[in-house]
Structure 1
Amino acid sequence: MTGHHDGQNWPGHYDEALAPAAHQPESEHGMTRRQLMRHAGWFGGAVVLTAAGGEVISHIAGSRDSSTEGVARVAVAREGALRFVQVSDSHIGFQGPANMDVAGSFTHAIDQVNSLGFRPDFVMHSGDLTHLSTAGQFDQVKQMMSGMRTDRVFTVPGEHDSIGDAGRAYRRTFGKGTLGDGWYSFGTHGVHFVALVNTLSLEKLGHLGNEQIDFVRRDLAGLSSDTPVVVFSHIPLFAMYPKWGWSTDDALRVIALLRRFSSATCLNGHVHQLFTKTEGNITFHSATTTAYPLPKPGRAPAPTPQVVPARQLKDALGIRTVDYREGNRELAVKDQRLA
């Protein structure tokens, strides 16, 4: 069993029917101070990346750059496009002043998915579905996600989904058809997707391990170099801010396997804020949360939940939509606030 899945053999989702640039030297934390400052305005805001004429154009959502917004709208409307949604860090079961109703904000996110104007081919939840990995919390988030109007829902676990049992309760609920500790892959619309688990061997940083990296090597070996590859993980695969554990200690071994592909995209959660980094052919996108914001790297002693005025909370929360039309080199990524 290779873990490579195409067609109707879909791992990592539950069975219930769902409702109808030159590089600067990096600092010890993986980013130079200039890079952090340049991207600082993107934290907590919605960034749109659109592929147009072979060039990736980015702008802050809500800006008056109507040309790129127009391209994004055209991409959504094009027939035959792959369209999927990423949600992350719902933390069902969290109780605290940073968000007194995480179930309510996740419901709002689900309503937003259902109001996009198109039916996503699938929805990926990139981890921390729950806050304390209890059976009741897993049941609750599973039931809530069954209300999303999509064909399939996929997941990867966060560290909050593995508390006390190395992810066994998570895998009982969401791990059908997966390999090892819950990793898997699948292909659709000419795109190959790999879902990784880097939250089970936490000393400080995320960790993949030899068995999983060998799976990735075998899984990618038979793909042509012009196949777009999308990798999902909870913790970033790049050194976003290792001081806070926002990195994966052996990720470079996977990154090396992605170098030969003309387009590779890595989507993660965990950091509760938007961030984009490009290294050659690989683009990394950190997603925001539906639960509560975390501080920007280095702006607080630790990544603890941030309390913001109630009227501003939804500005820090959101979902991500991704569009791809077969034959293009890049994916069009659009992040949307819940507000």
Structure 2
Amino acid sequence: MSETPDSEHGMSRRQLIRHAGWFGSAVVLTVAGGEVVSHIAHDQDGAAAVGAGALRFVQVSDSHIGFHGPANTDVTASFGEALNQIDTLGFRPDFVMHTGDLTHLSTPAQFDQVRQMLAGVRTDRVFTVPGEHDSVGDAGRAYRQRFGTGTSGDGWYSFDTHGVHFIALVNTLSLEKLGHLGQDQIDFVRRDVAGLKSDTPVVVFSHIPLFAMYPAWGWSTDDALQVLALLSRFSSVTCLNGHVHQLFSRTEGNVTFHSATTTAYPLPAPGHGPAPTPQVLPAGRLGSALGIRTVTYRQGVQALAVNDRRLG
């Protein structure tokens, strides 16, 4: 059940208080019986919910390798610190998902650097979806050459593990104002979920939010409702995105949306300023706005546990 928002941006006062403590932290997501349950990393109650055979994965986002600016003078170091945190979580994640803007300018050197850094993470698999910064000038071709193996269309795909169905979408290639999926991708989702039972937990990854977080800044996807309609019969759907460089959660019906923070630099809260430009924080404060997210799922329980952890 969704909480009544106290502001035009869709976050209730209770949600704001809860998530303010998570800003820039690592979120551990645990799926239990089809729902996402969130808790702070290393939080005792959350840890107690994790049993043998649980699925645990980590989300990182918006590393922007190649960015140069006062908001973060060394994005490679902060991304490296995020990956180091993954290696010291106390467990080996089943996989790591990077939800886009791996690079800042889509150059071959930047893609190769990200791929090399991700290859060193202690996990069984690494997945990615592209951000708009990963398709600068070439409609995502350089990204797909390095990260598109086994994907369909412009890089979308799905997979199953631990009783959960995962869908990775691309909504950054046909940008005018908002994110866009396109009919081919919508048809892919229709075929992809046709044979799934309605009690299957579904997790959807994308770069740009699939809900209207703040359309004036392009923080929404214009045809997302068509995909969400295809997922309406499922008892639990969790959508995880990047792009906005800050933590934000919203529940609408059977769908819970979680926007992730960044490993590069913060952006202003929705509507705070004329545009979402990189924010320069006081000395020593940058790490508090950066982080990783951990997700856990235990079969037979109705929740995913989400845990955000700060780099600072």
TM-score bracket, shorter-length normalisation:
over 0.9
Equivalent in the alignment of 2:122: 149
How many angstroms does 1:214 deviate by? Answer: 0.3
Q: Does 1:228 align with 2:201?
A: yes
Unpaired segments of 5 or more residues in structure 1? 1-20
- After TM superposition, the score normalised by the length of structure 1 is 0.85
Q: Partners in 2 of 1:49 and 1:158 — Cα distance?
A: 22
Q: Partners in 1 of 2:80 and 2:264 — Cα distance?
A: 11
Would you say the 8 A contact 1:50–1:71 is kept in 2?
A: no
Equivalent in the alignment of 1:172: 145
Q: Does 1:218 align with 2:218?
A: no
How many angstroms does 1:34 deviate by? Answer: 6.8
Equivalent in the alignment of 1:203: 176
What do the CA deviations read for 1:168-226 (whole angstroms, capped 9, x no partner)?
A: 00000000010000000000000000000000000000000000000000000100000
Once the two structures are superposed, the pairs formed by residues 1-339 of structure 1 within 5 Å of their partners are: 21=1, 24=4, 32=8, 35=11, 39-41=15-17, 42=19, 44-46=23-25, 61=40, 69-76=43-50, 78-339=51-312
How many angstroms does 1:327 deviate by? Answer: 1.6
- What is the SS of the residue equivalent to 1:253? helix
Distance 1:33 1:118, change over 3 A: closer
How many angstroms does 1:285 deviate by? Answer: 0.2
What do the CA deviations read for 1:117-173 (whole angstroms, capped 9, x no partner)?
A: 000000000000000000000000100111100011000000000000000000000
Q: Partners in 1 of 2:52 and 2:133 — Cα distance?
A: 38
Q: Partners in 2 of 1:51 and 1:191 — Cα distance?
A: 8
Distance 1:200 1:73, change over 3 A: same
Counterpart of 1:252, as a letter, is L
Distance 1:199 1:36, change over 3 A: farther
- What is the SS of the residue equivalent to 1:324? strand
Distance 1:202 1:25, change over 3 A: same
- What is the SS of the residue equivalent to 1:331? strand
Counterpart of 2:232, as a letter, is R
Distance 1:82 1:268, change over 3 A: same
RMSD: 2.3
Would you say the 8 A contact 2:96–2:125 is kept in 1?
A: yes
What do the CA deviations read for 1:33-61 (whole angstroms, capped 9, x no partner)?
A: 573665445353547777899997767x4
How many angstroms does 1:75 deviate by? Answer: 2.8
What do the CA deviations read for 1:68-114 (whole angstroms, capped 9, x no partner)?
A: x32211234x1100010000000000000000000000000000000
Would you say the 8 A contact 1:208–1:251 is kept in 2?
A: yes
Q: Partners in 1 of 2:227 and 2:32 — Cα distance?
A: 28
Would you say the 8 A contact 2:57–2:95 is kept in 1?
A: yes
Would you say the 8 A contact 1:195–1:232 is kept in 2?
A: yes
How many angstroms does 1:279 deviate by? Answer: 0.8
Would you say the 8 A contact 2:159–2:165 is kept in 1?
A: yes
How many angstroms does 1:257 deviate by? Answer: 1.1
Distance 1:190 1:307, change over 3 A: same
Q: Partners in 1 of 2:29 and 2:107 — Cα distance?
A: 37
Q: Partners in 2 of 1:235 and 1:89 — Cα distance?
A: 11
- What is the SS of the residue equivalent to 2:188? helix
Determine what percentage of the aligned residue pairs are the same residue.
72
Q: Partners in 1 of 2:32 and 2:112 — Cα distance?
A: 42
Q: Partners in 1 of 2:11 and 2:250 — Cα distance?
A: 9
- After TM superposition, the score normalised by the length of structure 2 is 0.92
Distance 1:138 1:212, change over 3 A: same
Q: Partners in 2 of 1:285 and 1:190 — Cα distance?
A: 21
Which of the pair has the greater relative contact order for Cα pairs under 8 Å at 6+ separation? 2
Distance 1:49 1:325, change over 3 A: closer
